[in-house]
Amino acid sequence: MAGTMTEKILHAHLVEGKLAPGNEVGIRIDQTLTQDATGTMAHLQFEALGLSRARTKLSVSYIDHNTVQVGFENADDHRYLQDVARKYGIRLSRAGNGICHQVHLERFGAPGKTLLGSDSHTPTGGALGMFAVGAGGLDVALAMGGEPFYLATPRVIGIRLMGKLPPRVAAKDVILEVLRLFSTKGNVGLVFEYFGEGVAGLSVPQRGTITNMGAECGVTTSLFPSDVVTRDFLRSQGRVDDWVELSADPEAEYERVVTIDLSSLEPLAAAPHSPGNVEPVRELKGLAVDQVCIGSCTNGSYRDIATAASILKGKTIHERVSLIVAPGSRQVLAKLAHDGYLADLVASGARIDECACGFCIGNSKSPASGARSLRTSNRNFKGRSGTVDAEVYLVSCETAAASAITGVITDPRDLYTTAPAVAMPKRFPVDDGMIIDPADLETATSLSIRRGPNIGDPPAGSPWPEDLAGSVIIKVGDMVTTDHIMPAGQRMKYRSNIARYADFVFEPLDPGFPERARTARDLGRHGIIVAGLSYGQGSSREHAAMCPMYLGIRVVIAKSIERIHAANLVNFGILPAIFADESDYDSIESGDTIEVRGIRSLVDEGKEYLVLHNATRNRDIPVKFMLSERERMILLAGGALNLVRERQRAGR
């Protein structure tokens, strides 16, 4: 039977279940990645499993998010991660070596493998033909322990690329066009597979830009075929032996096929405050620009930065503009320096930032009040930059560099008549000196792990109650992201201290939430969150479920919930419920009392619907929840970690 790439890889890694759209299956995970914002808790959870060694073929811990070390917290976490990696058989990429997704493409990714990462942009690995999925840290910890990763068998959308990109139009414009077509919501359970004659004209870094931002559509992952372009990239990294040819069969059946003619594309931008708010750059021309940031895991490759440098060469940035450039990896930085591009950037007035996430997650380089910032990163949620009233536009490196010169949003086709010619190097300067190998098993047994005062144990949930007696602690609207639920930036340094980090749940929307939730919890009331469409979109950070659990939240009722966040809610014993009728959203308000008699039995019996009784308004509200048997067991146990511990005690 002809198969898609998704079907081929999943079939080769199938451990449990049957591959059929919507069916839950368990797959074997070959590789995992974590980063320091989510990885500290993931490794604390791995330690709680009581294993002596990671059981994956490869696990890599990256330090790339919280590299700004003001206070002891981040440095303590980095020391902990290094100790854990040495002891448990995990490779560690040190701070300064680069952003996890860029480095993983360079040094570890391989076609046909499965990759699970505690970062929502893990699908970047699909540029190499991997089935690469973002998940919560607990799912990654379990995969490191040899457990399968469970997901609903995805439906596959084929995206046929035809033609060739015109000069000054970039891969970023391709994925922005995909976002324009598919939007940021309604794509849960989908995989995008790219094919067609246009694929051959895209380098692996260009493909990585596209698979990276597929996460903004909410899809499970995105894949490109592994072809001669893939082979040449792996050869340039000294890893040609990792290459295998992999593509969908010509007769493969997709749920539907969307065709994009690359030759018809033009420079695009995602306007504030959503990656899906896509407009042609020509319609934004002339808007004043205060800041330009080039880099991130989306556009931090050699080709990206060298292209920007080619545009900036011999020019000086506009007096109003602050230009920040953050190469995606140390390898990229070294190659830029060798080829003279770094000097061109410095001469133009660019500020060279370290090879880290930096400006993308809002922990540094925040724009001025009310400023307009053009960025080559992947998200422009309100306040994510660290400045609440800033306007952030997502653009290509070409548009960013052109606008830095003129001081206004500029279509790069208007600035120069010939496209900068940046070829992919035949050989990169490979240097793995900043990647620490783990200790051998004999040495590892004697190693101790240092934990700073900000590092605490993972919180344990309690088993589900027989009856729900709850209070609506907050009601929020549509498109609430994990940044809204658990702010990043300066607050992220508390990620290892849940009791402290929980003080900031919903801080951007309602700073009074934690106190109300604690009060309800202490009174024996179960906390409830009510939300609109696409609740929990954005980052995979499990703290957006873990901290609410710590505060006593038991149920989230929404019009829709994004895939990773819904899985995280279940993992921490919170029921993700969907309004059976979206209009019922209007019949429930913050402070309402909600009751369900026998809710534990209803979940245990496999019911998919239940009726919430709003005692405040004397109204019944039907909701649905599609949980597998495994998810019901997790929920009833009060969380996945509780369930694993129960099984260990029972010797299973």
User: For residue range 546-584, what is the model confidence (pLDDT) as tens digits?
Assistant: 999 999 999 999 999 998 899 999 999 999 999 999 999
What are the strands, taking DSSP E only, across 491-624? 526-531, 553-558, 575-579, 593-596, 609-614, 619-624
What is residue 642's predicted lDDT score, i.e. its pLDDT?
84
Distance CA 166, CA 483 (A): 36
Q: Is 358 exposed, middle or buried (0-12, 13-18, 19+ CB in 10 A)?
A: buried
State the pairing for strand pair 278-280/256-261: unpaired
Longest distance between any two alpha carbons in the chain, whole Å = 72
Domains of the chain: 5-264 (3.30.499.10), 268-414 (3.30.499.10), 468-649 (3.20.19.10)
Distance CA 603, CA 316 (A): 63
Express each pLDDT in 530-549 by its tens digit. Answer: 999 999 998 878 899 999 99
CA atoms within 13 A on the CB side of 317: 25
Q: How confident is the model at residue 456 (pLDDT cuts 50, 70, 90)?
A: confident
Q: How confident is the model at residue 418 (pLDDT cuts 50, 70, 90)?
A: low
Token pair of 143, please?
Answer: 């995969």
3-state secondary structure string, 96-161? CCECHHHHHHHHCCCCCCEEEECCCCHHHHHHHCCEEEECCHHHHHHHHCCCCEEEECCEEEEEEE
Q: Residue 502 pLDDT > 80, yes or no?
A: yes
State the pairing for strand pair 619-624/609-614: antiparallel
For residue 89, which of 45, 56, 131, 137 has the smallest C-alpha distance?
Answer: 56
Express each pLDDT in 336-346 by its tens digit. Answer: 999 999 999 99
What are the strands, taking DSSP E only, across 173-329? 190-195, 221-223, 256-261, 268-270, 278-280, 291-295, 322-326
Distances (CA, A) of 318 to 268, 341, 404, 411: 22, 19, 6, 16
